[in-house]
Structure 1
Amino acid sequence: MPDFDPQDLADRYIAQWTLPDAAERRAAVERLWADDGAHILQPPVEIRERAAGLGFGHTTLEARGHDAVEARVARSYEEFVEKRGLTFRPRADAVRLHDVVKFSWETVSTGTGEVVGGGLEVLLLGDDGRIRADYMFPGA
């Protein structure tokens, strides 16, 4: 696996979610993610509670492969950045242990600069340093 700064990876990872240009987002996804990489999201508590009420014991959402990950990133951009005036930024806490990188991030109002949310990211990397699995925990 290539040697790299985990904070640089965290910065580039978060930047993909805030790119307004679709071609730039696609290029970022292809640079960061393995061809069959998976984005696995633990939904917010209210969604997990509704799912549990319907009899689902475990609830996760998953996007796999460049097309699905790109669609996920684009929808997040549209919903949070375009419509709600938010942005994302990594905290300066990225650490690497072998092929795993862990870091926290914040959701920030572009109008006030107020932190309105955030989460924890755990990335499992392939031998080439690209993301094989991304475990996202919003609200963590």
Structure 2
Amino acid sequence: MNDLNALASRYIEMWNEPDAGKRRAIVRELFAPEAEHYTPTREFHGLERMDVRVAEGYEQFVKPGVNIFRPVAGANGHHGAVRFQWEMVEVATGKVTGRGSDFLLMGEDGRILSDHQFVGR
């Protein structure tokens, strides 16, 4: 994707998607087969593990209907790297209940090779 804000939006859509099949399709659209995803305490390697990671995030934060994720405008990048910020928002009030950012390394085909997720600012 040439529009980095569109990439960030699509990435966030993945975490909010209620349909498991659609989530899985988005994972395959965005991530290379050998992709790696890192959080401060965990790591996931490959598409199957990324499916698990996204499903866990959806189940924990979005499915109960309390929160939704949204991208923050201003994604930027260069030389195959992209960074963007996101917020977790309370559905009922619109109050921001969490923040974070992701740093992506992109492959030649435009898919994510490595995703480092940071929680908090």
SS state at 1:94 partner: strand
The C-alpha deviation readout for 1:16-45, integer Å capped at 9, x for no partner, is 000000000000000000001011001xxx
Unaligned runs of 5+ in 2: none
Unaligned runs of 5+ in 1: 43-59
Paired amino acid for 2:116? Y
What's the counterpart of residue 64 of structure 1? 45
Structure 1 position 96 matched with structure 2 position 77: yes
With the length of structure 2 as denominator, give the TM-score of the two structures.
Answer: 0.96
Is the Cα contact below 8 Å between 2:65 and 2:91 reproduced in 1? no
What's the counterpart of residue 81 of structure 1? 62
Identical amino acids, percent of aligned pairs = 44
Tell me which of 88, 92, 103 is aligned to 1:111.
Answer: 92
Tell me which of 31, 34, 40 is aligned to 1:33.
Answer: 31
What's the counterpart of residue 124 of structure 1? 105
Aligned length: 121
Q: Matched residues in 2 for 1:82 and 1:27: separation?
A: 18
SS state at 1:75 partner: helix
Q: Per-residue deviation at 1:84?
A: 5.8
With the length of structure 1 as denominator, give the TM-score of the two structures.
Answer: 0.84
Give the ranges of 4+ consecutive aligned residues of structure 1 lying more than 6 Å apart after TM superposition: none
Q: Matched residues in 1 for 2:32 and 2:91: separation?
A: 31
Which structure has the bigger radius of gyration?
A: 1
Q: Matched residues in 1 for 2:68 and 2:97: separation?
A: 10
Paired amino acid for 2:102? E
Paired amino acid for 2:108? D
